[in-house]
């Protein structure tokens, strides 16, 4: 596949996935896909869970750069974390009701029209701070 075709696959996968089309996981991930996010099923569960606690979730690709079989995507996600109905005030992530923004970079490898792997980094800690959470080290005795 060409570099441009690989970019189209990655763009379509992430845009549709974060818009809630979980079927794209089965369509565009290789059967031997591996990721820090886990399995294809794990990705479906993570995205569905994220969308349930952030109903206004927005995902935007800010830049795609590709070479050979690798596609690097710089992205931003934003929304308002509403929390889980089971979250209590003392849970690690009680509903904040505050908007947040999180940025990240994902590197996908594409072979034969399927995504076979990804590696990513994000600004999750900054997102928590934006929502008003304090990050403190655990109590050590």
CATH number reported for the structural domain that contains residue 71 in this entry: 3.10.450.50
Number of domains in the chain: 1
In 19-133, which ranges are continuous DSSP H helix? 23-28, 40-53, 124-130
Q: According to the model, what pLDDT value does residue 94 have?
A: 58
Highest-confidence range of 65-74, 97-106, 128-137, by mean pLDDT? 65-74
Instruction: Assess if residue 141 is contained within a domain.
Output: no
CA–CA distance, 107 with 22 (Å, rounded to integer): 20
pLDDT at 92 over 60: no
Instruction: Assess if residue 68 is contained within a domain.
Output: yes
pLDDT at 2 over 80: yes
Strand 70-80 with 29-35, pairing: unpaired
* Residue 13 · residue 28 · CB < 8 Å: yes
Q: Identify which has the larger pLDDT, 73 or 123.
A: 73
Instruction: Assess if residue 138 is contained within a domain.
Output: no
Domain of residue 52: give its range.
3-86+93-130
What pTM, to 2 d.p., does this model score?
0.83
Instruction: Assess if residue 15 is contained within a domain.
Output: yes
Alpha-carbon torsion, ordered 37, 40, 41, 46, to 10 deg: 40
pLDDT at 121 over 80: yes
């Amino acid at each position: 596949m060409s570099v441009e075709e690989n970019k189209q696959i990655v763009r379509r996968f992430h845009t549709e996935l974060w818009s809630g089309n979980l079927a794209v996981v089965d369509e565009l991930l290789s059967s031997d896909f591996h990721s820090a996010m886990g399995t294809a099923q794990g990705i479906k569960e993570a995205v569905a869970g994220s969308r349930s606690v952030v109903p206004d979730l927005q995902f935007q690709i800010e830049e795609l750069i590709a070479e050979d079989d690798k596609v690097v995507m710089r992205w931003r996600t934003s929304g308002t974390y509403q929390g889980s109905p089971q979250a209590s005030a003392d849970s690690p992530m009680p509903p904040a009701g505050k908007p947040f923004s999180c940025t990240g970079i994902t590197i996908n490898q594409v072979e034969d029209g399927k995504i076979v792997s990804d590696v990513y980094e994000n600004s999750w800690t900054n997102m928590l701070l934006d929502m008003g959470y304090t990050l403190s080290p655990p109590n050590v005795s």
